[in-house]
Amino acid sequence: MFFYELHEGDNEVFSDILVVSESEWEPDEFFALVQSIRRRIQDSFVHDTLSEAIAIELERDHGFIHVSDDRIVAAVNVSTDDADNFLASTEVELADAQEDEDDDDIDPEQDLDEGKAFNTVIAEFDPRSGRLN
């Protein structure tokens, strides 16, 4: 098994995606393949990120396996403190595709630690200018 990584933007945002292949690809060949897919789909992808869209194309058309959260069988929280070690939930409740995803429907009391999916947005704030960058 050979592992390849896709990421976009700031590498500290946890947007890395892993794909696996039974065949070894030379780095420049893998790069060329990814670039050809990117050029073809960059203006029309429907997934959360370009990296995810490329990974799905690699899986569908080129025999890669997209290592995504829906493939996780078990997740274990580990800590040096015994009380903080537990088997974590791997089930995520997904919104019905037909439902309106209006931000007004978000419950501020909802506990995000109960396996709910969420996206992260990071913004830089310059207090001197009072503006987001």
DSSP 46-69: -SSSHHHHHHHHHHHHH--EEE-G
Adjacent-strand bridge partners of 66? 19
Pairwise pLDDT comparison (36 vs 10), residue with the higher score: 36
Q: What mean pLDDT comes out for the span 95-108?
A: 47
Provide the residue ranges of all domains of the chain, joining segments of one domain with +: 2-70
Task: Give the pLDDT confidence score for residue 9 in this predicted structure.
Answer: 73
Q: How many residues does the chain have?
A: 133
Task: Give the pLDDT confidence score for residue 98 in this predicted structure.
Answer: 41
Average pLDDT, the chain: 78
Task: Give the pLDDT confidence score for residue 97 in this predicted structure.
Answer: 39
Task: Give the pLDDT confidence score for residue 95 in this predicted structure.
Answer: 45
Q: DSSP for 77-98?
A: E--SSGGG-EEEP---BPPPTT
Q: Is the pLDDT of residue 61 over 90?
A: yes
Pairwise pLDDT comparison (125 vs 86), residue with the higher score: 86
What is 2-70's CATH topology? Alpha-Beta Plaits (3.30.70)
> Within its chain, how far is the Cα of 125 from the centroid?
25
